Structure 1
Amino acid sequence: MWASTHNGTLAGKMSAVVDALHACQQAPANGGTGYLSAFPAEFFDRFEAIQPVWAPYYTIHKIMQGLLDQYTVAGNGKALAMVVAMAGYFGERVRSVIQRHSIERHWTSLNEETGGMNDVLYQLYAITHDQRHLVLAHLFDKPCFLGLLAVQADSLSDFHANTHIPIVVGGQMRYEVTGDPLYKEIATFFMDVVNSSHTYATGGTSVSEFWFDPKRLAETLTTENEESCTTYNMLKVIYIIIF
């Protein structure tokens, strides 16, 4: 809204939100680590141990993306510094998991919703050109899913749609940032598969946020079809392909 109007009141409110979040990030409880969230870092201990916890990275992505937008749209340098600090914190967490356990443990943890972590990290890398941000983005690409699409396997059945559509969006950003044509091909193939085999006549996809057998959608009609988050994320995939 501010980008369209340049309204001074909106600008003041945006800056106030960034300042308040910055104060939280700098609070003694966070020890200058760069961590920023409404829930404790212990949630990530559970995430990394493959213990029950609902999608902490899903929320972190939203915070990082909002702050990055404050920089790219409104020029708020403090917001960019906050995102860089968050990327540093989570980069160390991922590195620790891989070193203490294995890369397989990290990949397994990504079976939980992580939002568009790869997407926002590729965007950050495009700004900072810091190789650590590029490596961390790669580590959220989830090759067990993108790999299937890379070999053009129509194997979406039983995948959780709202976990995996944002990963495709991040793959598209990988193409935009690195120029790797494979990730453009992945997104195009994914879009073709969803449109031809997993889309209802009304344009949405998934049931209870999952994909099931291709081209057998009549058997999946319930009150839980076409969840709005999946629709939003599919629109992002389409937009990037077209534009």
Structure 2
Amino acid sequence: MENDEVILLGFWPSYFATRVKVALAEKGIEYKYKEEEDMLSGNKSPLLQKMNPIHRKIPVLIHNGKPVCESLVAVEYIDEVWKDRAPLLPSDPYERSQARFWADYTGKKLYEFGRSLWTTKRGELLGGKKDFIDSLKLLELEALGDKPYFGGESFGFVDIATIGFYSWFYVYETFGNFSIEAECPKLVAWGKRCMQRESVSKSLPDRHKIYELIVEFRKKYGVE
């Protein structure tokens, strides 16, 4: 695997692309990164359309010329191909199934409810805000609990699936006018713990840059 060509097509603020970045970093895999999408223009490069003709969206992991689409599929692929390095998924079948369940949950619920906070006019936020907070509380209570990481003592699959949202907490709080730490202190403590890992701190985008992008997005599409 030493001479493998690994390329990641991504979009810098994307929580989904962040998943793949962190997984690659955890495994110590060198790769080339290509910025392939523009949120404000909607432009998609010919390379992205060729490598993901079905959905035409990032992230796409390209391993020796072969594309692997969808973030969680790519993370599992990385875990299986570079299995000689620290595993990302639990070895126990039941624990593995639970990890997949919660990773899927974050990708659907946190994405859907979180997105509603910054794509909705300020006066219309009430329902979406409650849904988002409830989804965070459920994740904290049922999946994280009192453990340092979602899988227990070691950083793993669900942490990788979820940590990209941590960079967006500032956006959610600012437009939703609430404190995630006040609502979910264990979840915020988990995020800070993850940020102490080099694989995370070097992969996550700056929260203020994301906020500036969203402000620009809201102005362009008249969401105020």
Greater share of residues in strand? 2
Per the normalisation by structure 1, the TM-score is 0.35
Task: Select the structure with the greater relative contact order (CA < 8 A; seq sep ≥ 6).
Answer: 2
User: Which structure has the greater CA radius of gyration?
Assistant: 1
Per the normalisation by structure 2, the TM-score is 0.37
Greater share of residues in helix? 1
